A and B are shown apart, each in its own frame.
Chain A
Amino acid sequence: MKIHLENVVKTFESFQAVKGVSLDIESGELVALLGPSGSGKTTILRMVAGLEYADGGAIHFGDQDATDIPVRDRGVGFVFQHYALFPHMTVADNIAFGMKVSKVKRDRAAIDRRVADLLRLVRLEGLGDRFPAQISGGQRQRVALARALSVDPKVLLLDEPFGALDANVRRDLRRWLREIHSELGITTLFVTHDQEEALDLADRVVILKDGQIVQQGTPQEVCRDPKSAFVMKFLGDANVIAAEVKDGRAHVGGLSVEAAGVADGRGELYARPSDIDWSEEGPGITAEITRVLDRADGRRVLATTDAGEALEFDVEPERVVKAGDAGFVTLRRAKVFAAG
């Protein structure tokens, strides 16, 4: 089911949470709404679900205008951050609930069969008789997904689905959700503030800030070509170095970086920790190491430039560096934006 949002607006009392968002989600696509808290991502998801009504604009499901269809009749599956499982019902009853209240009447045996199928799909065979309080957080979220899928939704919506889980469980569930999506091919929209989750899981990432879309594209597009300093910073660790822009190039400490389209004047260089090299000899930006953090996959170096900018970058595990070393920083690649 194709979803089309046309200039959607939502205001809570005096706070404008969503300021005119237009978005197309293709049938069968898996799309992430990514943004910091207060960016309006959950509000957009809830408007697509029908849990909130849009104050302005329109939401289309396929050819149908769904803007004013209540959640009950909208045919969406919604997965809540805190699962929202019915605590007084068993896992199986939770999954069966949607089928029992449905206008489409199913007999008991058909419901039981479907519950068993869904339990198999979310790999929770044998846990149907447990109560939500008796299973782990990751299992609860899988029950919540099975329950959302039980009513054959046209669209699957997930609100920070892994937000309440610890890191390992989250990574497993991410892969698993991707597999389920491939298997069912259902149009899926999920909200997250975790850029790694969005990039790992989604076909397309929509980045939001202050109720507006700032950039959207495949993970590759947004990572390789961030269009703004906000996106650059939000997608991962970024070092910021002040530079002078002149005639389409940025200059700092004897280095020169391509800066097409940036106006002359003060600019900022953005570089990922992996984009920075360290050497004892120039040319480069002079800096002094303040601290070295040893990690499983390498050494993270914290340094300060002469201008007082804090830098973070990685060196090979064998590299001998220590706090107090002076040297030069060079850039493998960097993005230049006008100073904000």
Chain B
Amino acid sequence: MSIFSTRRKPPRVGDALLFRRSLIGIVFVLVAFVIIAPLVIIGVEAFSKGWQLYRDTVIHPDTLHAVMLTVLAALIAVPVNTVFGIAAAWAITKFDFWGKRFLLVVIEIPFSVSPIVAGVAYLFVYGLQGLFGPWLDAHDIKILFAVPGIIIASMFVTAPFVARELIPLMQAQGRDLEEASTSLGASGWRTFFSVTLPNVKWALLYGVILCNARVMGEFGAVSVVSGNIRGQTNTLPLHIELLYHDYNATGAFAAASILALIAVFTIIAKVALERQGAGRVRKQTNPAEKTS
């Protein structure tokens, strides 16, 4: 066993020991300063003025309203984007149609464009001076600076998550399974629920979790369209910023701790799902082609 031998040999593959250790060391230091330290600070600061103040901030009506609004946005945006993601992935991977490549690119746009740009764009579409603004105003429909605007902005930002998880997997799986199912006499719906869905369920759940995490944490786009009205159109991330600007650092950290807690649960769920075989690791394997 070469690793136990006392003679120093160059590694058979890869880099020298010193290089390897310094590389690992740099990563650990960076993780500690960039990720761990801020997370710890959130916890420490949130409780710095005692449990009482923490509790007061968390159960303050404005905070609770922000939490409720964030949950409401997730409850609407996540299912809508899940259905959208499944439909888009299904269409792109199982059918050939004109404009397919274009659709693939368009789905990715929310990933590449800054959320604040999306928010501003919505101002110009639904705002009073915007495209549909006068019509909406005439019919007394409020989208901007109201809950619908928050939900629409969240949906825009998280639109690609589910589709992006499903498309590579469904592409790798091909159409054989669906063709087999149909040739055996199954209807389209039956094929989808009995054959397609069970084979992508882990990737789907993974996409839903990522989508949910993003909806709850979205700041940029929502901050433009919500109007930041305390107790009315304030989501949790916006509320944190507001508290911070009020010089209520402890309150801001207390609210942030709720968001951080949600993130931690998300990561636990994500890791658990990855153990089940979801995520990017297994994307390349095609169950239909795993021979012998």
Chain A residues close to B by CB (< 8 Å): 49-51, 70-74, 76-78, 80, 82-88, 97-98, 101-103, 132-133, 136-137, 147-148, 150-151, 164, 166
Contacts and interface: CB of A to CB of B under 8 A. Distances in A.
29 contacts: A50-B183, A51-B183, A71-B179, A72-B186, A72-B187, A74-B183, A76-B183, A80-B179, A80-B288, A82-B288, A82-B289, A83-B288, A84-B177, A85-B288, A86-B180, A86-B181, A86-B194, A87-B199, A97-B184, A98-B185, A101-B181, A101-B185, A101-B186, A101-B194, A102-B185, A136-B292, A151-B184, A164-B291, A166-B292
B174 to A, nearest CB: 8
Interface in B192-244: 194-195, 198-199
A132 B277 CA distance: 17
A145 to B, nearest CB: 12
Contact of A84 (B180, B185, B290, B291): B180
Contact of B291 (A73, A78, A82, A150): A82
A166 B287 CA distance: 19
Given A72-B186, A133-B287, A78 B180 contact: yes
Nearest to A153: B183
Nearest to B286: A82
B183 A49 contact: yes
Contacts of A88: 198-199
Contacts of A76: 183
A136 B292 CA distance: 5
B55 interface: no
Contacts of B288: 80, 82-85, 87
Interface of B: 176-177, 179-187, 190, 194-195, 198-199, 287-292
A147 B184 contact: yes
Contacts of B184: 97-98, 101, 147-148, 150-151
A51 B178 CA distance: 11
Contacts of B289: 82
Interface SS majority for chain B: helix
Contact of A82 (B176, B182, B183, B187): B176
Nearest to A79: B180
A50 B182 CA distance: 10
B108 to A, nearest CB: 25
A17 B180 CA distance: 22
A151 B185 contact: yes
A51 B179 contact: yes
Nearest to B178: A84
A95 to B, nearest CB: 10
Contacts of A103: 185
Contacts of B182: 70-72
Contacts of B177: 84, 86
Contacts of A137: 291-292
Contacts of A82: 176, 288-289, 291
Contacts of A74: 183
Contact of B183 (A78, A86, A87): A78
Nearest to A169: B292
Contacts of B199: 86-88
Contacts of B195: 86
A82 B180 CA distance: 11
A80 B180 contact: yes
Contact of B290 (A77, A133, A147): A133
B181 to A, nearest CB: 7
Nearest to B292: A137
A82 B288 CA distance: 6
B191 to A, nearest CB: 8
Contacts of A97: 181, 184, 186, 194
The 10 closest A-B CB pairs, nearest first, are A98-B184, A87-B287, A84-B176, A101-B186, A84-B180, A78-B183, A88-B198, A137-B292, A137-B291, A82-B288
Contacts of A83: 288
A223 to B, nearest CB: 31
B182 to A, nearest CB: 5
A72 B198 contact: no
Contacts of B194: 86, 97, 101
A88 B276 CA distance: 13
A111 to B, nearest CB: 13
A71 B182 CA distance: 7
A101 B179 contact: no
A72 B188 CA distance: 10
A94 to B, nearest CB: 9
B187 A101 contact: yes
Given A133-B287, A136-B292, A84 B187 contact: no
A137 B179 CA distance: 20
A120 B27 CA distance: 59
Nearest to B186: A101
Q: Of A71, A77, A87, A102, which is in contact with the most chain B CB atoms at under 10 Å from its CB?
A: A87
Given A49-B183, A97-B194, A101-B187, A80 B176 contact: yes
A286 B198 CA distance: 67
B185 A72 contact: yes
Given A71-B183, A147-B180, 18 more contacts: A49-B183, A51-B179, A71-B179, A72-B183, A72-B185, A80-B180, A84-B177, A85-B180, A86-B198, A86-B199, A87-B199, A98-B186, A101-B185, A101-B186, A133-B290, A137-B291, A148-B184, A151-B184
A87 B288 CA distance: 7
